Amino acid sequence: MSFDVDLFVIGGGSGGVRAARTSAQTGARVALAEDSRMGGTCVIRGCVPKKLMVFASEFTETFAMAREYGWTADTGAFDWLAFRTKLHAELARLEGVYHKILSSNNVTIHEQRATVSGANEVTLADGTKITAGHILLATGGRPSRPDIPNAELAMVSDDIFDMDALPKSILIVGGGFIACEFACIMNGLGVEVTQFYRGTQILRGFDDEARGLVADMMREQGVNLMTDTNVAEMAPADGGMSVTNTHGKTQNFERVLFATGRAPNSKGIGLEEVGIKLAKNGAVEVDEFSQTAVPSIYAIGDLTDRINLTPVAIREGMAFTETVFKNNPTAPDHDLVAYAVFTQPELGTVGLSEEDAAAQEPIEVYATSFKPMKSGFAGRSSKVLMKLIVSKATRKVLGCHVVSDGAGELIQMVGIAVKAGLTKEEFDRTCAVHPTMSEELVTMHNPTRTA
């Protein structure tokens, strides 16, 4: 049977664009549909603008530290609109880069919504039907709001980059990395920040000791972090929102941000109608090669709710190309993926937490927490954590957890060592770089505890 294209990709985020480009480079005829902005969540509404806001927010502490180091210059005030203008210009530039990547590789772009109308057919919003040898779903995810009255009046993460002005106060609801990152960002930009999290500790799933230190430092820096607390009621009020928490206390906030989770973008695009299976949360179910229950249709990225990270989606897209167009069946590698949470300080992690490792096998824990030289000299109270989890049986480093400035950069390098299966003794044989915070990772010779 002859098809209009060999591959039709639905979704122009990082995973979809990478799959489209690499597939087109094999000689395949490729088309892609995106009904919003090219670049998807990461480039337009997530990682990139968020990290630029992180950079902006860090200058408050940088200026404070500078004064302790002898600098006397007046730092002035933060101009949100000036920053936002430059931010939007950068996002537009990156969107153009994504368009160029596709067009230069002869990928046909449809700037409209596409739905699946058959195992080998998609229908565009204008009614055009296109047949395809394979369809790749890469529609990502979206922020979700809790099911409470007036929730629609609050912001979600997509909205925060378009604010007309910084609020004087904000309530951030949630305890995951998005909530914690924006709590630190807003606090750094001078906003009065309150954060509610219904659980007992933020950053569920991360190493307990590491997330505990992040929580302590957030509070130290001025975030009013309230655990075991949630929104019971909220309603419009003069100048913002009136919020009553689950302990009965009512407060007014100029803005409210819900960072209470994300949902796969699987609704209304014809998936179940053609036989694709969805999990309870709407995630597309796939096998190890990202293939759905319909053999001609594959899915990658946040839509599948495996590991919801941009680099993982990109690798899944490349594995798809290897499998389908290079006749080299390739399962994306989801083992020992490093993470970074861009709180202040940052949290970098790879491998098992102390709790998960101890449940699996006997371990040794090597950990140290201390005040870094830069902060200590300036009289600041910040602390860092360097932590290794080691198997007693194999001596392999099963996990590494770092809480410090630049932890995201550091964990990328440590991730190579952990992925390679290096042992604690191989860490020990590595000479330290002095004076650095990270030298502690190769100088902790005696275990802090065993489990």
Mean pLDDT, residues 215-232:
98
Domain co-membership, 161 together with 137? no
332 part of a folded domain? no
Confidence of residue 85 (pLDDT cuts 50, 70, 90): very high
Residue with tokens 């915070």: 437
169 part of a folded domain? yes
Distance CA 130, CA 425 (A): 58
pLDDT at 149 over 80: yes
Instruction: Compute the radius of gyration of the chain from its Cα atoms.
Output: 24
Confidence of residue 76 (pLDDT cuts 50, 70, 90): confident
Domain co-membership, 157 together with 293? no
Domain co-membership, 267 together with 137? yes
Mean pLDDT, residues 320-343:
98
331 part of a folded domain? no
Number of domains in the chain: 3
333 part of a folded domain? no
Q: What is the structure's pLDDT at 227?
A: 98
Domain co-membership, 84 together with 23? yes
- Name the active-site residue from 99, 134, 434, 445: 434
Q: Are 340 and 346 in contact (CB under 8 A)?
A: yes
Domain co-membership, 64 together with 35? yes
- Within 221-362, residue ranges assigned H as helices are 310-325, 354-360
Q: Are 379 and 415 in contact (CB under 8 A)?
A: no
Q: What is the structure's pLDDT at 20?
A: 98
**86-99 per-position pLDDT tens digit:** 999 999 999 999 99
Confidence of residue 384 (pLDDT cuts 50, 70, 90): very high
Q: Are 62 and 54 in contact (CB under 8 A)?
A: no
Domain co-membership, 251 together with 294? no
CATH number, domain with residue 209: 3.50.50.60
Classify each residue of 355-378 as buried b or exposed e, where b means 16 or more C-beta atoms within 10 Å of its C-beta. Answer: eebbeeeebbbbbeeeebeebeee
Domain co-membership, 224 together with 346? no
**410-436 per-position pLDDT tens digit:** 999 999 999 999 999 999 999 999 999
Bridge partners of residue 7, in order along the sequence: 30, 134
Domain co-membership, 17 together with 137? yes
251 part of a folded domain? yes
Distance CA 242, CA 83 (A): 29
Q: What is the structure's pLDDT at 9?
A: 98
Q: What is the structure's pLDDT at 358?
A: 98
Confidence of residue 73 (pLDDT cuts 50, 70, 90): confident
Is 247 among the catalytic positions? no
pLDDT at 1 over 80: no
Domain co-membership, 345 together with 442? yes
Domain co-membership, 9 together with 139? yes
pLDDT at 132 over 90: yes
The chain-wide mean pLDDT, for the chain, equals 97
Q: Are 219 and 189 in contact (CB under 8 A)?
A: no
432 secondary structure, DSSP code: P
Which of 298, 325, 352 is a domain's end point?
A: 325
Exposure on the CB side of residue 37, measured as CA atoms within 13 A = 16
Q: What is the structure's pLDDT at 298?
A: 98
Write the burial class of residue 246 (CB in 10 Å: 0-12 exposed, 13-18 middle, 19+ buried): middle
Domain co-membership, 297 together with 430? no
- Which residues in 286-383 belong to E strands, given as ranges? 297-299, 339-341, 346-351, 363-370
Q: What is the structure's pLDDT at 74?
A: 80
330 part of a folded domain? no
Residues 6+ apart with CB under 8 A from 398: 351, 352, 357, 363, 389, 390, 391, 418
Domain that holds residue 178: 151-260
**253-290 per-position pLDDT tens digit:** 999 999 999 999 999 999 999 999 999 999 999 999 99
